[in-house]
């Protein structure tokens, strides 16, 4: 099963966690310290390669059907599916900032945690 790193509202306790369904939580972890982290229009987070932030999130095992039919259709237009590096050096699917996306965003790399930013 593919592994999906979540770092926004689909994490446990978030408004969109229902999109994960009964997928098992593999770990609470961070990305490798090579990303920038943004709040896009203050509504959703976005990872972007090229920084030094280790972004907090949760790793789930999701079926391809769950990804294709439930989780991905619920993602904002400014994001796309990509592959990231986790703190342990392994890879994972994740939603990343779509290249060329021009919506207003705030760099929150110094916080690197969506829940902390929102609180």
Count other C-beta atoms under 10 Å from residue 94's C-beta. Answer: 23
CB 105, CB 96: distance < 8 Å: no
**Which ranges of 9-112 does DSSP label H, i.e. alpha helix?**
64-66
Q: Render each residue's pLDDT in the chain as its tens digit; 119 residues.
A: 899 999 999 999 999 999 999 999 999 999 999 999 999 998 999 999 999 999 999 999 999 999 999 999 989 989 999 999 999 999 999 999 999 999 999 999 999 999 999 99
Other C-beta atoms closer than 10 Å to the C-beta of 85 total 17
The domain of 60 spans 3-118
The CATH number of whichever domain residue 46 belongs to comes to 3.10.490.10
Residue 9 pLDDT: 92
Q: How many domains does the chain have?
A: 1
pTM for this model (two decimals)? 0.95
Q: What is the pLDDT of residues 56-69, one digit of tens each?
A: 999 999 999 999 99
Residues whose CB is less than 8 angstroms from the CB of residue 21 and which lie 6 or more positions away in sequence, other chains included: 62, 66, 70
Distance CA 104, CA 29 (A): 27
């Amino acid at each position: 099963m593919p592994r999906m790193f979540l770092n926004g509202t689909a994490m446990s306790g978030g408004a969109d966690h229902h999109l994960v369904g009964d997928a098992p939580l593999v770990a609470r972890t961070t990305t490798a310290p090579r990303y920038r982290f943004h709040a896009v229009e203050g509504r959703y987070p976005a990872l972007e390669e090229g920084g030094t932030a280790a972004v907090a999130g949760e790793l789930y095992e999701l079926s391809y059907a769950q990804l294709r039919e439930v989780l991905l259709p619920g993602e904002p237009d400014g994001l796309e599916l990509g592959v990231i590096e986790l703190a342990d050096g392994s890879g994972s699917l994740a939603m990343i900032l779509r290249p060329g996306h021009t919506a207003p965003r705030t760099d929150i790399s110094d916080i690197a945690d969506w829940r902390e930013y929102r609180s």
